[in-house]
Amino acid sequence: MLEELREANSYITSKIKETDSVILEMEKFAQEQNVPIVTKEVAEYLKFMVKMNKSKNILEIGTAIGYSGTIMAKAVEEYGGHLTTIEIDEERFNQAKENFAKAKVDNVTLILGDGLEEIKKLQGEFDFIFIDAAKGKYKEFFEDSYKLLSKDGIIFIDNIMFRGYLYKEYPKRFKTIVRKLNEFIDYLYENYPGFTLLPFGDGIGLLQGKK
């Protein structure tokens, strides 16, 4: 979480009263097992965006345990929306499969595999694309998935500012990731005039497709 916004984000999350038992169970599991999931305020914004967009066909790159996927699938099920989500880790894939079943969401297609390979196999268009996977591959994920973005569709990129390491001191082991993310943000600003960078959670990048 970006340090200077921690207090504001804590205030916001204190106002969010989650009642869904499966969501709460996943939050507890993620905290105890140190599994990265979207922060609560990002989850709320994600829910708002897919509902506002009336998304019918969502693509998620990076399922993890199914937390954000469950939130999106539940948000769009009332008007027939569908989620396709890709996870490379088999253990996480199985956990997500179990959590989707617990949440009783059946509008989900869960794919086990490398996003860089699986995206290329997908057919049709998506009106909402959520990217939250390996940070060093964000540009590749974006370029491949952007080809599948429908007219006026939205791409939502989470953790794009990577714990604030893009503008403050960072551990040497993250040098390559930080460089790649900085280059990716420059690339988006230079080539996609509608790109917007928002400093909450761990940083969100938003882009709307061509009108």
Cα–Cα distance, 155 to 209 (Å, whole number): 8
Per the listing, tokens 């009263």 go with 17
Binding-site residues from annotation for Mg(2+): 132, 158-159
Helix (H) or strand (E) holding 208: strand 204-208
Tokens found for residue 84? 């396709």
Cα–Cα distance, 88 to 81 (Å, whole number): 24
Binding-site residues from annotation for S-adenosyl-L-methionine: 38, 68, 87, 132
Cα–Cα distance, 38 to 160 (Å, whole number): 12
Binding-site residues from annotation: 38, 68, 87, 132, 158-159
Q: In sequence order, what are the residues at sequence separation of 6 or more whose Cβ sits closer than 8 angstroms to the Cβ of residue 61? A: 85, 86, 115, 119, 129, 130, 131, 132, 133, 141, 145
Mapped onto helix, strand or coil, the DSSP state of residue 203 is: coil
Q: In sequence order, what are the residues at sequence separation of 6 or more whose Cβ sits closer than 8 angstroms to the Cβ of residue 192? A: 207
